[in-house]
């Protein structure tokens, strides 16, 4: 059952995985020490509403090898956390989780070269004092043979208003819970259509009002919409839409940032979930499918396997990062 559920979850999450790793733009320069961008994230999958925060912080530069080619990259630290709760007729579901990892942006051309991301989740299902508790860990590395999606130029946003790209990426993933461990490797090629609005619009956020340029990316079934602001040096809002329904399945909106516009501060284009979306969709779809399959007998299982609810995971900015094989 785990294998079947996981394959279905991965198939559903894959288009969002690509869209979440939207790269920085043509013509951008160096990042500055202390630059960061923090987003409030909200999403729903099935009946579970999840909210939290996601931060990208510039931490340095290095050379990253991908498929025999070395790229000079800017390294972004990914961090954040989220919580979610859903009440059901026979049992409730509660989860807490952490985002962690790294993002590698090409310093020349500033497309995304790759990402290494971890998602750690504490989940409990049950009713009242009877709870089934589990810990889930998902780690994924995605690398591109060449930096991609770098056609948008913030210095001259009217340069390219619409174009097509075909993206090839290499992915490795590891999944584990209390009873299962799985590893997977894959390579995929996907076409995308990118369009840029012909004029700016004013977008209100908790961090302020920003003149922004809307960018839309689609692969034919899923849609990603992002608003880029020159003032923040990145996106101020991001929305992801699935193949069904008009409501976004993921929303990220900027709440705070630090970006040096006086020097050679880089243009950073950050998109949903973020590592977040692909992993959030993957994890929530996976754990809900598993728990729903067990839900019919959750009361009996809870009485015979009484467990206390897991302590919420706290975001720790000083925690050791996941393994970074790139250096």
Please state the three-class secondary structure of the chain as a single string. Answer: CHHHHHHHHHHHHHHHHHHHCCCCCCCCCCCCCCCEEEEEEEEEECCEEEEEEEEEEEEEEEEEEECCEEEEEEEEEEEEEEEEEEECCCCEEEEEEEEEEEEEEECCCCCEEEEEEEEEEEEEEEECCEEEEEEEEEEEEEEEEEEECCCCCCCCCCCCCEEEEEEEEEEEEEEECCCCEEEEEEEEEEEEEEEECCCCEEEEECCEEEEEEEEEEECCCCEEEEEEECCCCEEEEEEEECCCCCCCCEEEEEEEEECCCCCCCCCCCCCCCCCHHHHHHHHHHHHHHHHHHHHCCHHHHHHHCCECCCCCCCCCCCCCCCCCCCC
Report pLDDT for 196.
92
- For residue 311, tell me if it sits in a domain: no
Task: Please give the residue range of the domain that contains residue 6.
Answer: 2-300
Q: What is the mean pLDDT of residues 287-313?
A: 42
Residue 66, pLDDT > 80, answer yes
- For residue 322, tell me if it sits in a domain: no
- For residue 103, tell me if it sits in a domain: yes
Is pTM beyond 0.75? Reply is: no
- For residue 31, tell me if it sits in a domain: yes
**165-199 pLDDT, tens per residue?**
887 889 999 999 988 999 999 999 888 899 999 99
As for how many domains the chain has, the answer is 1
Residue 131, pLDDT > 80, answer yes
Average pLDDT, the chain: 74
- For residue 318, tell me if it sits in a domain: no
- For residue 224, tell me if it sits in a domain: yes
Report pLDDT for 269.
40
- For residue 176, tell me if it sits in a domain: yes
């Amino acid at each position: 059952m785990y294998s079947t559920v996981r394959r279905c979850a991965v198939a559903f999450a894959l288009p969002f995985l690509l869209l979440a790793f939207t790269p920085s733009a043509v013509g951008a320069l160096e990042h500055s020490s202390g630059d960061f961008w923090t987003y409030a994230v909200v999403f729903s999958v099935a009946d579970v509403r999840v909210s939290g925060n996601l931060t990208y912080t510039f931490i340095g530069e290095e050379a990253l090898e991908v498929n025999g080619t070395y790229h000079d990259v800017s390294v972004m630290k990914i961090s954040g956390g989220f919580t979610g709760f859903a009440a059901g007729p026979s049992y409730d579901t509660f989860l807490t989780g952490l985002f962690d990892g790294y993002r590698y942006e090409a310093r020349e051309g500033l497309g995304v070269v790759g990402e290494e991301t971890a998602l750690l989740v504490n989940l409990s299902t049950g009713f009242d004092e009877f709870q089934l508790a589990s810990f889930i860990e998902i780690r994924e590395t995605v690398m591109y043979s060449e930096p991609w999606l770098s056609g948008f130029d913030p210095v001259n946003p009217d340069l390219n208003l619409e174009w097509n790209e075909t993206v090839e990426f290499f992915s490795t993933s590891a999944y584990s819970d209390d009873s299962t461990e799985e590893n997977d490797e894959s390579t995929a090629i996907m076409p995308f259509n990118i369009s840029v609005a012909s004029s700016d619009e004013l977008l209100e956020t908790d961090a302020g009002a920003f003149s922004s340029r809307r960018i839309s990316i689609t692969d034919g079934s899923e849609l990603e919409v992002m608003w880029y602001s020159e003032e923040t040096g990145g996106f101020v809002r991001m929305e992801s839409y699935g193949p069904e329904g008009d409501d976004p399945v993921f929303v990220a909106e900027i709440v705070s940032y630090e970006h040096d516009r006086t020097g050679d501060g880089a243009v950073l284009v950050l998109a949903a979930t973020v590592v977040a979306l692909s992993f959030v969709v993957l994890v929530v779809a996976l754990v809900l499918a598993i728990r729903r399959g067990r839900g019919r007998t959750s009361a009996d299982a809870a009485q015979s396997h009484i467990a206390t609810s897991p302590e919420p995971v706290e975001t720790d900015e000083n925690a050791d990062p996941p393994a970074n094989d790139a250096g």
